[in-house]
Amino acid sequence: MERSVLLVILFSVFCETSSSVTHYSIPEEMKEGSVVANLATDLGLDVKTLTKRKMRLDIITNKKYLDVNKETGELYIVEKIDREHICYKRSSCYLKLEITLENPLRIFNIELEVLDMNDNAPQFRRDAIHLDISEATPKGERFSLSNAVDQDVGTNSLKTYHLSESEYFNIEVQTGRDGSKFADLILKKTLDRERQALHNLILTAVDGGTPARSGTVSIVVHVLDTNDNAPAFDKAAYNIQVMENSPIGSVIIQLNATDLDEGSNSDISYSYSLYTSEKTQETFNLNPTTGEITVKGMLNYEDFRIYDMEVIATDKGVNSLSGQCTIKILVEDMNDNHPEISIKSFQSPVSENIELDTVIAVVSVSDKDSGDNGQVDLLIPENMPFKLRESSDNYYELVVSEPLDREKVPEYEITFTVTDRGSPPLCDNETMTLELLDVNDNVPQFSQSFYTIRVMENNAPGSLLSSLTAFDPDLHENQYLVYFIIEKEIANTSMSMLFSINPENGNLYALKTFDYEIEKEFLFHIEARDSGSPPLSSNVTVHIIIVDQNDNAPVIVSPWRAHGSVVEEKIPRSTDKGSLVAKVIALDTDSVHNSRITYQFLQVTDASLFSLDQYNGEIRTMRMFSYKDSRHHRLVVVAKDNGQPALSATVTIKLLTVETDVKAYSDMTEMPLEYDIFSDINLYLVIGLASVSFLLLITILVTIVLKCQKPKHSKTAPPSRNSVISERNSTIADSTLVSNDAYWYSLFLAETRKGKLVVRQPVPKGSRYIVSSIPRGTGLSETSDSAASTLQVRT
């Protein structure tokens, strides 16, 4: 840079040799301190005298851009020089300088030419240029643009313009009279606002400097709308499905028509066309502003299923345009109708013995809905003896599938439930009551198959023994029961003579007083018969057991008492210890329990001398007699039965000890069966037994005569086992004898010696007695062949 300055200075000096003005040329924007020229050398001045001569530089401007170094004589830059500032828009720019020296005074004129540099880019007055162009403007139309300004001059000034690429615009550069450059914007293609409403262009101004500088401005083209587009819907046809029973106000569809125009040209209103029926307009509401279609009336699939409408969208331009669309609204079925049941036929009541597969009812079902909502299923409760059978479309028959039993289930609550297949499913039900008519198909039933009734002897005639009630689960006359005794005759005695039953309630009564010692049990049958047709009946076995009362006191039959109750016996004084002195035997005609007799001393002269076995009544010596013992002994023995209260009998035995040699009594347990029955003691016993037997025989004969005088009943009734047991079961427990037969007593004496129990039982026809001997302590044997040993003696 400095070299070029020096060359310019030298050239100026050379050119101005003949002039009094010294010329220098420098480029603008030189840095501060840059040396322009050495004035001392160029003007021929002595550098050493510059200070003394007070060298000064005067510039004819407001600012001091340059100065002189008095030490070296150099002209240098004090402040950057902006050519455009000091020489705005001038083609040439000079600074005039004066160098003044004193002693001697001398003035030198200097011209400093400031050369232009391309330091300024073209600039537009505005950042953006806005243009409003109607889309109806024809192509070729020109639009003036603001020009750019470049402060540089010459080749560095504005040279041309460039426009960014555009389909619709280009420019044409024009030159003014003053040489300024400007551009016109030319429309080369018709605009379409709906396609592109805004065009952004860039205009660039370029100068001629090297390198070239440029400036840009944005051109914003706003395309003005014209009403050249009709409103258009998103689709030309709509198919909409809506559920029936949709609430009033429910939105069906939001129509959206668009108009590519703007402003009032794009404001749209919606309306029904003339092709839309009044029914549709009454059912649906169209919002003219928003295009929203809502439910206005009730929707019912079963009434109206399809609605057709045509909607028109119209803009609000000066010359309004419109578009339309068609809408088909399909009402979808909703499961809003309950299925219905219709009972076409129902048979009630029916007999309980109705045949299987018999039709009881005919039922039809229906549902107004469609599809799955209209498909129905009919059911009845499970665990019922019925089933449904489809006879035809939506018709069902209720038939009997299992045998019916009124006694188990007298009636059925049959609920018919019909359910559709919608979601959620709806159902309906109908309940019918089926009553069953009774059939006499149940026999009367007693609570027990065998009744055992215990009756205390000596009962009052007409007393209630028991209530034998049967149950019949049938109804009405099939349930009414009649009770009666099945006739049978035992020992020429009819059961109806002994017992009576109330035919209505089954109360069993005794018609006579029973005596255990004569009759111990009865066995017969009672029948219960209903009143059905044909009647059904059942019978039950009744076992009457006569319970013994302790109504017979023991009778002492041994030792024999001829006069009064005192018995006199003699015994040798030499009797050994343990010898049998006497044996007390008592009889009791009561039952075994009440006739069990025990013996004890009531009074005894010397308790240390005699002992009494409480079970067999044997009186034995406990020691031998001594000379100190009295010759006379008085023994009072009481025989007491086991009844409640107990009954008893006493006997007094007077013993006299003698010195004579009397044959000692041996133990009766060793006495043979064929001993002399007419010995002293046994003679009395036989007489006593004969008396008692005679009285018993008279009683039996009288009873038989009385029974024979009663009317005989039919013998068709089957015989009953042990129906009337009139025989006497005589039992001897230890030394207890239950009999009044003297001969029986003799047998007893023989058997008791063996320590056995003797039982007498008559055979059925009374032709003989069976005497059974069993060990002591066992109970009564009711069969003759169960005894250990048996003696049979003809009577």
Measure the CA–CA gap between 729 and 761, rounded to whole angstroms. Answer: 6
Looking at 3.20.20.100, 3.40.140.10, 2.60.40.60, 1.25.40.10, the CATH number of the domain 340-437 comes to 2.60.40.60
Percentage of residues in the chain having pLDDT higher than 70: 82
**pLDDT of 287 higher than 80:** yes
The band of 564, judged by pLDDT with boundaries at 50, 70 and 90, is low
Q: What is the pLDDT of residue 51?
A: 83
For the residues 525-540, what does the mean pLDDT come to? Answer: 91
Q: Check the CA dihedral 614-619-621-627 and report its sign.
A: positive
Average pLDDT, the chain: 79
**pLDDT of 387 higher than 80:** yes
| Nearest alpha-carbon partner for 221 in 200, 248, 250 | 200
- Residue limits of CATH 2.60.40.60 in the chain: 25-115, 123-224, 232-332, 340-437, 445-547, 555-658
**pLDDT of 471 higher than 80:** yes
Q: What is the pLDDT of residue 252?
A: 92
For the residues 315-332, what does the mean pLDDT come to? Answer: 90
The band of 269, judged by pLDDT with boundaries at 50, 70 and 90, is very high
| Nearest alpha-carbon partner for 638 in 657, 626, 629, 651 | 651
Which residues have C-beta within 8 Å of that of residue 665, sequence separation ≥ 6? 579, 580, 581
Measure the CA–CA gap between 530 and 539, rounded to whole angstroms. Answer: 12
Range with the largest mean pLDDT of 356-365, 638-647, 744-753:
356-365
123-224: CATH topology is: Immunoglobulin-like (2.60.40)
Q: What is the pLDDT of residue 145?
A: 87
Q: What is the pLDDT of residue 728?
A: 30
Q: At what angle do helices 680-708 and 742-752 cross, to 10 degrees?
A: 130
99 and 39 Cβ atoms separated by less than 8 Å: yes
List pLDDT tens digits, range 772-781: 333 333 333 3
Least reliable range by pLDDT among 213-217, 272-276, 590-594: 590-594
Asked: is 445-547 a CATH 3.20.20.240 domain? The reply is: no
Q: What is the pLDDT of residue 747?
A: 39
Helix, coil or strand: residue 543 = strand
Token digits for 588?
Answer: 């009791």
Token digits for 26?
Answer: 């420098």
The band of 731, judged by pLDDT with boundaries at 50, 70 and 90, is very low
Q: Could you please report the per-residue DSSP string of 682-727?
A: HHHHHHHHHHHHHHHHHHHHHHHHHHHTSPP----SPP-TTSS--S
The band of 329, judged by pLDDT with boundaries at 50, 70 and 90, is very high
Q: What is the pLDDT of residue 725?
A: 29
Q: Residue 213 phi/psi, 5° resolution?
A: -110, 155
Least reliable range by pLDDT among 217-221, 257-261, 284-288, 588-592: 588-592
Q: What is the DSSP letter of 265?
A: G
37 and 66 Cβ atoms separated by less than 8 Å: no
Position with higher pLDDT, 517 vs 290 = 290
Token digits for 474?
Answer: 């049938």
Q: What is the pLDDT of residue 605?
A: 85
For the residues 61-69, what does the mean pLDDT come to? Answer: 79
Helix ranges restricted to H, 580-650: 592-595
Please state which CATH class domain 555-658 belongs to.
mainly beta
Q: What is the pLDDT of residue 452?
A: 94
Residue type, 299: L
Please state which CATH class domain 232-332 belongs to.
mainly beta
Measure the CA–CA gap between 45 and 22, rounded to whole angstroms. Answer: 14
| Nearest alpha-carbon partner for 5 in 80, 77, 64 | 77
Radius of gyration of the chain (CA): 79
**pLDDT of 791 higher than 50:** no
For the residues 373-395, what does the mean pLDDT come to? Answer: 88
Measure the CA–CA gap between 204 and 221, rounded to whole angstroms. Answer: 16
The domain 25-115 belongs to what CATH superfamily? Cadherins (2.60.40.60)
